[in-house]
Amino acid sequence: MSTPRWLSIDLDNVTLSALQWGGDSGPLALCLHGFPDTAWTWRYLGPVLAERGWRVVAPFTRGYAPSEIPTDGSYHVGALMADALGVHEALGGDDSAVLIGHDWGAVTSNALAAYRGSPFRRIVSMAVPPVPSVTRTNPLQLVRQLRKSWYIGFNQLPRLPESSLDRLVPRLWRDWSPGYDASADLPAVATAIYARSNRAAALGYYRALSPLSRPPRHYRALQAAWLQEPRTPMLYLHGVNDGCMSVQLTDRVENYLPAGSAVLRVPGAGHFLQLEQPEQVNAAIIDFLS
């Protein structure tokens, strides 16, 4: 089960390529990656869940090759939510399905945890806390976080980020997960986002955060949920040494999660905790889902 098979999933505005571990009959575990990363980030978790009967599906999210560039050109949170819901429907998911997300995948997972129409029974979110817990944290911690978040403003600039992406990506992996050897990950990232159209797509996630960028009408109801508090039970995981999102930003996460939720701060891990401490992360997820 350690070697996944490939799926192609046709949605309304994009066709996604995905990795699948496990058979087609088990409950769906949908796993969403972040930036700058790929579906291969789930190479440790996928087989472990599959051995326990889950159908684990990890798409390359819209704009990340070999998935397509979306025809509607949207990289708003509402569009990412719509893709997750679309995959659930296309694969015949039911109310036993769970959603697992890291980084931008966590943004999507957090938003769907708050969305009243979500079909997912439980949510696992990593490395990006739900928005309400961040905006209401200690103001001094938010100021300190601004230094770590410089890349968000940089990625919204015109043209310059595209030309420097192949230098930016290795730097972010080094800064965000100090001491982690990303040599097995960076070639996959290069294949996914270094082509010209894919560079613009990966950066489009950040440009869609601009208040001047409005999502297409068909995503707006979904988009509204991403600033709200989660309603679905959630396991929130964060690396103690995260160089992207400070672990101090998780101080109040517990206050904004519903009953049945849990929070784990993972020692010895930075931003890419599912790769740095897979045994501890996998064990926590298995325990939460069971």
Instruction: Give the pLDDT confidence score for residue 142 in this predicted structure.
Output: 85
Instruction: Give the pLDDT confidence score for residue 1 in this predicted structure.
Output: 53
Instruction: Give 10-residue mean pLDDT values along the chain (290 residues).
Output: 91 97 96 98 98 97 98 98 98 97 98 97 98 86 90 96 97 98 98 97 97 95 95 98 96 95 98 98 97
**Do the beta carbons of residue 128 and residue 106 sit within 8 Å?**
yes
Rounded CA Rg of the chain: 17
Q: What is the distance between the alpha carbons of residues 62 and 17, in angstroms, rounded to a whole number?
A: 9
Q: Domain 5-289 belongs to what topology?
A: Rossmann fold (3.40.50)
Residue count of the chain, please give it: 290
Instruction: Give the pLDDT confidence score for residue 138 in this predicted structure.
Output: 80
Helix (H, G, I), strand (E, B) or coil at 57: strand
DSSP state of 221: H
| pLDDT tens digits, one per residue of 57-110 | 999 999 999 999 999 999 999 999 999 999 999 999 999 999 999 999 999 999
Instruction: Give the pLDDT confidence score for residue 271 in this predicted structure.
Output: 98
Instruction: Give the pLDDT confidence score for residue 135 in this predicted structure.
Output: 85
Q: What is the distance between the alpha carbons of residues 247 and 279, in angstroms, rounded to a whole number?
A: 20
Give me the residue spans of the domains in the chain.
5-289
Instruction: Give the pLDDT confidence score for residue 268 in this predicted structure.
Output: 98
Question: What is the CB neighbour count within 10 angstroms for residue 142?
Answer: 16
